[in-house]
Amino acid sequence: TVKAVHAAFMSKRIAREALEQATGIEHSLFWNCSQSSEHCKGRPDLYGDGWGADLKISRHAAERSVAFRAYVEGWMHQIAHYSNGAAHNGLHWKHHRLIVIGPAPPQEFRVFCVEIKEAAIEMLCLENERTLADLRRCRMSGEWPGTPDDWRTIEPPQSAMFVTASMTGAIEIGEAE
């Protein structure tokens, strides 16, 4: 529930202090990419003097997987994008943070506050610039490669499947019908 997420956020001292110290909350930033000239927009959840932060709610909020999830879900790229926008608007961030909240029995929620290394932000910004350049080429040419014009049937990958239990015991993946 929203109230429980709010309570979890406020119970984490450093998250609460970030909110209290923020000079921008849900503030849109607009700029043109210096490499591609594409118009860009970002909306970081929080930012202050020298830092920006984004809040994520995820069932994958676990200490062992938060770095992996932050990368594959695009959260790191997103905060790098926001950082680029902040720089174009005269705000220079040295700290790029994610506040990740997720359900974690037996407690209701866990809160992980993580900071992305500056060298990683630089690499992510370069990846974002490449993506924007590709976007511009596609937009200008009207050609969008890699997007088939038919419906593709997909399912979760085998690595995402869990062994399930039944009344008679464990069922291996693929045995249940």
Smallest CA-to-CA distance from 41 within 29, 32, 58 is with 29
Whether the pLDDT of residue 177 is over 90: the answer is no
- List all residues 6 or more positions away from 57 whose beta carbon is below 8 Å from its beta carbon: 5, 100, 101, 102
pLDDT in tens, 22-62: 999 999 999 999 889 999 999 999 999 999 999 999 987 78
Whether the pLDDT of residue 166 is over 70: the answer is no
Q: The whole model's pTM is what?
A: 0.81
Whether the pLDDT of residue 102 is over 50: the answer is yes
pLDDT in the model for residue 57? 92
